[in-house]
Amino acid sequence: MYEDLDRVRLKSGEQVEMGVVSGPDQEWASKVEVLLGHKGENWLWGNSRLLRDDLGIEGLFYILHRDGVPFANMMNVEFEGVGIFGHVYTVPEDRRQHAATELMPHLMSHFRARGGKALFLGTGFDSHAYHIYNANGFEGVEVFSGSMSYYRDSQSNFETSFFGQGAVSIEALDWIHWPVSPALFMVKRPGTIRLAGLGLFGQGSTEGSMLPLIRETLERREEGKPSRMMVLRHEESSAVTGVAMHSRDRLWPHTCVVDLYCHPQFWDHGRSLLHSLSLPEADRYIAYCDLDFSEKEEILSSAGFVKNSVHEQRVAVNRAKTEYVDVGVWER
């Protein structure tokens, strides 16, 4: 579906159309796909699915166009008012015409009007784009990081509501988990080793790393194979409150890396979440954990893992690298 939003004037004085394409929309899909055709393979696949299929989540492509030919884009992918902002792009010949400056306020206003709660993005720290996003309400999650977040009210109010007490379900990874997952991982919480198999340490986003895993999960499902990632989902708010996954160790043969991470209020479900993983055959299973992070260590121990070594001061807790954490290596 296409919704006309406004007519805007570029820096050159030219007036162009502004609108939003909400998938599925077969008429506009190919036009937006062409505009974003420079993206990598997984992004092309994800955008195509958002534009052409009903995935149970919202894919919103905010565009500037001339007579139906888009030349600038910003995208939100959302579920239950929480989502990821990205795919900011203007064709080279139309750059420096304030396209992003015109699009961004409309996108944010539209997000708030629809009841949006929180958005997350990744960009270059202190870049031109970083300051555009900051001017529209986004804040950096930590010093020197290009990860940014926006909360309609406040972060504390959002956290209290989104991660409040309530029933949870364990589910195989699916589309509905993708837009909301940064709310778990991009916030300062206990535990620096979050998803080693995805290279996620400290406050980082799952935006890019989770998408190919969704693609793989859908392919495995068609083959009758289980997902490599299981998700603990809050039944009321749809928050991702925990994740367990396995991956092949890229260094050692016949070795499986097992990851587990939960929101502080949901570690009591960690055993069940870890047990829900269908682990492949392997000679050994390895898990990494911040030294003395008792919630995770107790779960690993109960699952038969034994801590056999410690890497001292191995991973930085923050982007400023003012603090490092010792990492325990657990093996089963």
pLDDT digits (tens, 9 = 90+) for 23-75: 999 999 999 999 999 999 999 999 999 999 999 999 999 999 999 999 999 99
Q: What is the mean pLDDT of residues 189-197?
A: 97
Residue 43: what pLDDT? 96
Residue 232: what pLDDT? 98
The confidence band for 264, taking pLDDT boundaries of 50, 70 and 90, is very high
Place of tokens 């996003």: 133
Q: What is the mean pLDDT of residues 198-226?
A: 96
Residue 57: what pLDDT? 98
Question: Which amino acid makes up residue 162?
Answer: F
Q: What is the mean pLDDT of residues 303-315?
A: 97
Residue 284 CA to residue 253 CA, distance in Å, equals: 9
CA distances from residue 239 to 51, 81, 199, 202, 246 in whole angstroms, order as listed = 24, 11, 22, 19, 21
The confidence band for 262, taking pLDDT boundaries of 50, 70 and 90, is very high
Q: What is the mean pLDDT of residues 189-194?
A: 97
- Count the neighbouring beta carbons within 10 Å of the beta carbon of residue 233: 20
Q: What is the mean pLDDT of residues 97-112?
A: 94
Work out the mean pLDDT of the chain and round it to a whole number: 96
Q: Please give the share of the chain, as a percent, with pLDDT higher than 70.
A: 100
Residue 234: what pLDDT? 98
Residue 312 CA to residue 260 CA, distance in Å, equals: 21
The confidence band for 145, taking pLDDT boundaries of 50, 70 and 90, is very high
Q: What is the mean pLDDT of residues 286-297?
A: 97
Q: What is the mean pLDDT of residues 302-307?
A: 98
DSSP, collapsed to helix, strand or coil, labels residue 302 as helix
DSSP, collapsed to helix, strand or coil, labels residue 49 as helix
The confidence band for 157, taking pLDDT boundaries of 50, 70 and 90, is very high
- Phi/psi for 43 (5° steps) reads -65, -40
Residue 22: what pLDDT? 96
Residue 286: what pLDDT? 98
Residue 248: what pLDDT? 97
What's the pLDDT tens digit per position in 75-96?
999 999 999 999 999 999 999 9
Residues 6 or more apart whose Cβ sits within 8 Å of residue 323: 316, 317
The confidence band for 173, taking pLDDT boundaries of 50, 70 and 90, is very high
The confidence band for 158, taking pLDDT boundaries of 50, 70 and 90, is very high
Residue 157 CA to residue 142 CA, distance in Å, equals: 19
The confidence band for 222, taking pLDDT boundaries of 50, 70 and 90, is very high
Rg, C-alpha atoms of the chain:
21
